[in-house]
Copies of this chain bind each other. A is one copy, B any other.
Amino acid sequence: MTYEQALTALADPTRRHIFEALRDHPKTVGELALTQPVSRPAVSQHLKVLQSAQLVSVKPKGNKRLYAVKREGLEELRSYLDSFWSDVLSAYSAEIAKRVDNN
């Protein structure tokens, strides 16, 4: 269910950039906004989407809010791709088998 939200979340370029900016270590909204070409409220809105997609987590740190990458969303998306992967492979081997039968 969440892999769909993860896909739509990571589809937007700026949102993806924000997400990637959290690769190494957690950052605040203000810090993130500095590295992005959009306004701070825009970053907030993007973080909201990322959060509902289980891709980031928040931890209030006094006045600020620390955003960090969360594993759940990534895992969901990964397993979705993996299921697809095996399907494609099995379909491929089925095709091979069919050709063998035709000989």
With a cutoff of 8 Å between Cβ atoms, the chain B residues found around residue A23 in the complex are 84, 87-88, 91
A8 contacts partner chain B, Cβ-Cβ < 8 Å:
yes
Q: Is the CB of A74 within 8 A of B91?
A: no
A34 contacts partner chain B, Cβ-Cβ < 8 Å:
no
A24 contacts partner chain B, Cβ-Cβ < 8 Å:
yes
Contact of A24 among B7, B13, B16, B87 (CB under 8 A): B87
With a cutoff of 8 Å between Cβ atoms, the chain B residues found around residue A88 in the complex are 23, 69, 71, 74
A8–chain B nearest beta-carbon distance, Å = 5
A50–chain B nearest beta-carbon distance, Å = 13
A96 contacts partner chain B, Cβ-Cβ < 8 Å:
no
